[in-house]
Amino acid sequence: MQQISLKLKEEVMKGVAKIPIVVDSLTPDKLFGKSESEIKAEKVWWGNRQENTGDLFEVEVDGEAGSASEVKIVLDGDLSRVKYIGAGMTAGEIEANGDVDMHCGAMMRGGKITVHGNADCWAGREMHGGELLIEGDAGANLCAMYRGEITGMTGGKVVVEGDAGECVGQYMAGGEILIKGNVDILAGLNMKGGRITIEGNAVMPGADMTGGEIIVKGKVEDMIPSFRFVEVSTLDGAQYRKYSGDLAMTEKQAKGLLYVRA
Amino acid sequence: MVEELLIKNGVVYDPINGVKGEKKDICIRDGKIVEEVKNPKVIDAEGRVVMPGGVDIHAHIAGGKVNSGRLFRPEDGRKGIEPKTKVCRAQSGYSVPNTFATGYRYARMGYTFVMEPAMPPIAARHTHEELIDTPILDNAALPLIDNNWMTMEYVKSGDIDLLAAYIAWMIKATKGYGVKIVNPGGTEAWAWAKNCELNDAVPYFDVTPAEIVKSLAEANERFEMPHSIHVHGNMLGHPGNYVVTMKTFDLVKGTKPYRDRPVLHGTHTQFHSYGGTTWGDFESQAKAIAEYINSNEHASIDIGSVILGDTTTMTADGPMEYSLYQITGRKWTNHDVELETGTGITPFLYSGKVSVHTIQWAIGQELALLIKDPWKVALTTDHPNAGPFIGYPILISMLMNKRRRDESAEEMHSAIFDRAELPSIDREYDFYEIAIITRAMAAKTLGLAEHGKGHLGVGADGDVAIYDITPEERDDAGKIQKAFLNAKYTIKGGEIVVKDGEVVAAPQGKTFFVTPECDEKLMDEMMAKLKDTFEHYYSVSFANYPVQDAYVPNPYEIRAPWRS
């Protein structure tokens, strides 16, 4: 195993306007096999400028790795404006100690990201595989498609221990999402496949869904009227009202399932 | 800017001047081709293929609907993102690239002129604003004139002279180049949720599309217009429409052009060459259309060939876009342009696994290969409707290489073997014919050759493309595609704008516009009616309508005198 520690220097986030940093170049795939000095020379965008990683982060490398999957990157410091953490990664591990900015784990295909804090919007966007654990809350568009696209998350597993924002899993086509808290409006909007489990409450889940399933263990507020009640069914020993929909997408396409705790 | 330039050792293909792959020096001074130069900067082409700058006869690159396409397809904007450089501004987009990307990518393909073929007259300023922001390319735009209330009223009264006065005013007011026709009558009928076939009456106006096309062709020829009418006929994209297409071409058979050029240019003819009665028995009728073009002299076409993959369809043909949206169920937008025209936009994916798309893909290439005289055909994709212009190099490599076509056909839906002609066609284009369909034909048909476009004769604009391929390498399809995607050099008005496939300078292009000169008495008579129309129906006042000179910062005026 190899651990690459990247601690964001305090002075970088000192200004009145905290200028965001884009770190999609700092994944286990891209840093594997690089020496400390090579990592320091790796380019990251800081606002509209490209900077050396070593100028923004304190870099420490510990141990050896035989492949990208043996690389673990630990991010420390004020990460609240650090975007695209682990974006596109296929292997290895990233641990972020603190709240992170948008697009964490976007388009990831493998490996694991753990966020010890909150993640801003678009976490797990268009994710195809791997694991994303957010110990705090997630912002809007978790695991959704990006603007205009018609496919969101297609694979992998995401766990949010806190709450999640609007439009969780929009256009989701595969994979699993578990939210331990509540979600804001329109979870599973346009959903085509996969599963979203919400342990707390949800508002208008499943609008325009044509496939996949949504399980709400708490209460549903403003249930979409175009869902049809099917039966009361039992999941893990508890009783749920099972609905199919969304019939607004025509009878033929309404292949989605929504379970609400009875 | 280099004042003198000498291109040595190139193998030159300059069809307008009959130069067919000759080793020939090209001299440029102050932006123009000259006989000789004294103290030039020298480019050694080292035996590479040299052609005049490319001329695109039909590509939707600027204006309201292009921009709506960009706005409602942010997912397209994600593709092709390139940060700014010292020379270039930031680029984005694939099927609806931003204006900067449009200019740079065309220049990298060796093109120096593009015709924007659908300018809604009332929104002409928007089109010109975007053309100003499209670097390098010289340009022009065709105003949409056919679904216009004034036009239909004059067609109904049969007064071709007054119609001519109206189109003269309209082309002048929009700083346009000629007469564009899009689903004549059909776009207006769409306001009644209807569409029109060639001989259906347009609701309220009680004229037929056939009458509109014929009248506009005659009105156009009242002037010494550089270009013929530019026609997107009725029933675009409908199975069996090839009959309508030939009937449309037939309408103007008797119309006399003012000079030696066709009286009708049928655009994106791939979309108009469909046989069958439904999508189930859909088949290619490119052969019938090609035979028609082969045996007639009054019509030219561009192919509008399909590039497989995702694209954004956009046209003034509102009902067609609605039909397409009903097939795909994807997002769709629609717009009515007052009393002039309309618009529809929807994304589309051409897949080689789908029988209809495969046949469409074949038809465009069949047209190019079955029409014997390349001077009647221009290479287009009706960008972005059948695919983005960045796909031209793919098409060029297909037309030049039968093996490549056969290999592609093998991987596509088997319908290509029973409902299309392409696999049975052996013809291969050579560089000379490619030079015709990518520059010379368009320059000639648009009447731009005498204004310096599309050739390398003395006095022509110093627009030259040097491709990184030699005539001996013509069998290497991969190399052809690569060479035509990124020119070794593109020279625009004597300035090197592309070197080794990279944009190294981005000057502003010229805008060509036509000023038809109408008989004053006729104009006065027409004006009285026009002012009345403005007062009653337009949302803008008559005085505020015409595009002012500031919108054409780099103008090139072509006068079109009245023919007495």
- Which pLDDT belongs to residue A17? 85
Question: How far, in Å, CA of A243 to CA of A207, rounded?
Answer: 12
- Across the interface, whether the CB atoms of B330 and A149 are under 8 A apart is answered no
- Across the interface, whether the CB atoms of A149 and B73 are under 8 A apart is answered no
CB-based contacts of A225, cutoff 8 Å, min separation 6:
none
Rounded (5°) CA angle B402-B404-B410? 105
- Across the interface, whether the CB atoms of A148 and B74 are under 8 A apart is answered yes
Give the pairing of strands B111-119 and B138-143: parallel
Fold of B54-446: TIM Barrel (3.20.20)
Q: Give kind and range of the element (H or E) at residue B9.
A: strand B4-14
Share of chain A above pLDDT 90, in %: 98
Q: Give kind and range of the element (H or E) at residue B344.
A: strand B341-350
Question: How far, in Å, CA of B435 to CA of B449, rounded?
Answer: 14
SS3 B126: helix
- Residues of A engaging B, defined by a Cβ cutoff of 8 Å: 146-150
CA atoms within a 13 Å half-sphere pointing along the CA-CB vector of B175: 26
CB-based contacts of A16, cutoff 8 Å, min separation 6:
none
> Which option is the CATH number for B4-52+451-503: 2.40.70.10, 1.10.101.10, 2.30.40.10, 3.90.190.20?
2.30.40.10
- Across the interface, whether the CB atoms of B74 and A150 are under 8 A apart is answered no
Q: Which two tokens stand for residue B546?
A: 């015409």
Residue of chain B nearest A250, judged by CA positions: B329
- Which pLDDT belongs to residue A16? 84
Range 65-124 of B in CB contact (< 8 A) with A: 72-78
Segments making up each domain of chain B, as ranges: 4-52+451-503, 54-446
Question: How far, in Å, CA of B480 to CA of B404, rounded?
Answer: 11
Range 284-313 of B in CB contact (< 8 A) with A: none
Please tell me the distance in Å from A140's CA to the nearest CA on chain B: 18
Question: How far, in Å, CA of B27 to CA of A24, rounded?
Answer: 49
Give, in order, the Cα–Cα distances in Å from B281 to each of B202, B268, B305, B349, B420: 30, 22, 21, 21, 12
Mean of all residue pLDDT scores within chain A: 97
Question: How far, in Å, CA of A149 to CA of A37, rounded?
Answer: 39
Residues of A in contact with B72 (CB under 8 A): 148
Q: Has residue A212 got a pLDDT over 80?
A: yes
Distance of CA A12 to the CA centre of its chain: 26
Residue of chain A nearest B69, judged by CA positions: A148
Residue of chain B nearest A253, judged by CA positions: B329
Of the candidates B563, B550, B532, B516, the one whose C-alpha atom is nearest the C-alpha of residue B145 is B516
Residues of B in contact with A147 (CB under 8 A): 74-75
- Across the interface, whether the CB atoms of B74 and A147 are under 8 A apart is answered yes
Of the candidates A115, A151, A110, the one whose C-alpha atom is nearest the C-alpha of residue A131 is A110
Residue of chain A nearest B73, judged by CA positions: A148
The answer to whether B507 contacts chain A (CB < 8 Å) is no
Q: Has residue A260 got a pLDDT over 80?
A: yes
Contacts of B285-292 with C-beta under 8 Å, sequence gap 24+, read: B285/B242, B286/B362, B286/B363, B286/B366, B286/B367, B286/B370, B286/B420, B286/B421, B287/B366, B287/B370, B287/B421, B288/B242, B288/B246, B289/B242, B289/B245, B289/B246, B289/B367, B290/B366, B290/B367, B290/B370, B290/B371, B291/B370, B292/B246, B292/B249
Which positions of chain B have pLDDT values less than 70? 1-2
C-beta atoms surrounding A135 within 10 Å: 16
- Across the interface, whether the CB atoms of A147 and B76 are under 8 A apart is answered no
Please tell me the distance in Å from B125's CA to the nearest CA on chain A: 28
Answer whether B517's CB lies under 8 Å from B122's CB: no
pTM of the predicted model, to two decimals?
0.94
- Across the interface, whether the CB atoms of A150 and B330 are under 8 A apart is answered yes
Answer whether B400's CB lies under 8 Å from B474's CB: yes
Residue of chain A nearest B84, judged by CA positions: A48
Q: Give kind and range of the element (H or E) at residue B103.
A: helix B99-108
Residue of chain A nearest B71, judged by CA positions: A148
* ipTM of the modeled complex: 0.85
Rounded (5°) CA angle A11-A14-A19? 100
Q: Among positive and negative, which fits the CA dihedral B346, B385, B514, B249?
A: negative
Helix axes B124-132, B64-72, angle to 10 degrees: 70
pLDDT band at A181 (very low <50, low <70, confident <90, very high): very high
- Which pLDDT belongs to residue B2? 53
Place of tokens 């930031």: B90
* pLDDT, tens only, A214-225: 999 999 999 999
Answer whether B447's CB lies under 8 Å from B514's CB: no
Phi first, then psi, for residue A23 (nearest 5°) are: -115, 30
Q: Which two tokens stand for residue B317?
A: 């043909």
Of the candidates B357, B301, B296, B252, the one whose C-alpha atom is nearest the C-alpha of residue B58 is B301
* pLDDT, tens only, B436-491: 999 999 999 999 999 999 999 999 999 999 999 999 999 999 999 999 999 999 99
Q: Which two tokens stand for residue B421?
A: 């002609």
The size of the A-B interface in CB pairs under 8 A is 13
Interface mutation target, options B68, B75, B94, chain A, most CBs of A under 10 Å:
B75
A139: left (phi over 0), alpha (psi -120 to 50) or beta: beta
CB-based contacts of B295, cutoff 8 Å, min separation 6:
none
Q: Which amino acid is at B453?
A: K
**Minimal Cβ distance to A146: which of B72, B75, B330:** B75
- Which pLDDT belongs to residue B431? 98
